[in-house]
Each structure stands twice: as structure tokens, then as C-alpha cells.
Amino acid sequence: MLRQADPHSLPIPLAYQLRTDALKPDRRIEDIRTEEEWKGAVRSVVEKRRDLIHSRGEFTLPKVGDDLCKGRVLVYAPGENVADGASEYASSGFVDLNDAPLWDTWVAHSDRGLVTWVPQQLVVLAQRGIDVNAVDCIKWFD
């Protein structure tokens, strides 16, 4: 069946959302291997976000509703993924084939891995990816 079916033809709703081209990491995620490379990739996304905000003249944060202030912190350990696509499919694309979360959500890199902010509206999708992840490389920071 796998030879006849193309799992990449299945629609994944978030596959192209919250992956803003202007914030795209300098390297393809599947080509990032070392901790230093991950730190650099995360730094590039954060710096691009900062520059984009400054270029728009948005130096102060707009007032946001309570629903946008809620969410959870997720940590992704890139060296532990299995790239099987299960989490990508279950999370509707919140994480990709390599279990990496949407780069628009990246905020930092620490010794625990890639730190992301998950808006409340996407917590359920992220949890679905966590639930099927075979190697526990994506988890909530509690």
C-alpha cells in the first residue's frame, strides 16, 4: 500500500502557515545537524522577526486580547527525532516531517533544545503531535 499511496499528497492544513518566508531559517531544517547550527538557525529567525517588526515601525506591542496572551512553551530536541511523519500528520502540520515546530513560533535555543511559543489556539494540535511522537523529542516545558 505504501508504494501506491503518496503520504505527502495528504493535505496538512498548517504545512504552509506560520512559516513566513521572511523568517525562514538560513538553512533547511533537515540540513541542520549540530547544536551550534541550531543556535544559529534560531538566532537568524529571531533576528529576522526583530528586523521585520522594526522595518514596519512597530516598536511597541499592540494591545492584544486575553486569548492571544495565553499559550504554552514547547521544547523540541532536534537530535532525537525520527522523521517518520507521524507527528506532522497528527498535528496537522504544526510540526514538520522532522518534528520541528513552525518557525514563526521559535523564540530561543537553550541546552534543552529549540524553545517555541504555542498560542492557545494551537495547543491542541501541538498536543496531538506530542501524543504520537515515538521518541519524546517534542514536549511541553513545565
The residue written with cell numbers 525562514 in the block is 24
* Terminal CA-CA length for the chain: 40
Asked whether the beta carbons of 77 and 112 are under 8 A apart, the reply is yes
The confidence score (pLDDT) of residue 14 equals 76
pLDDT recorded at residue 68: 57
> What's the pLDDT score for residue 9?
56
Q: List b or e across 57-67, with b for residues whose CB sees 16 or more CB atoms inside 10 angstroms.
A: eeeeeeeeeee
- Model pTM? 0.81
Q: Which residues contact 93 (CB under 8 A, 6 or more apart)?
A: 12, 13, 14, 15, 17, 102
Query: Are 134 and 83 spatial neighbours (Cβ–Cβ below 8 Å)?
Result: no
* Contact present, 117 and 73 (Cβ < 8 Å): yes
Domain boundaries, the chain: 12-140
Q: Which three cell numbers stand for residue 28?
A: 533547511
Chunked mean pLDDT (size 10), the chain, 142 residues: 50 76 91 92 94 79 63 93 90 92 94 92 95 95 86
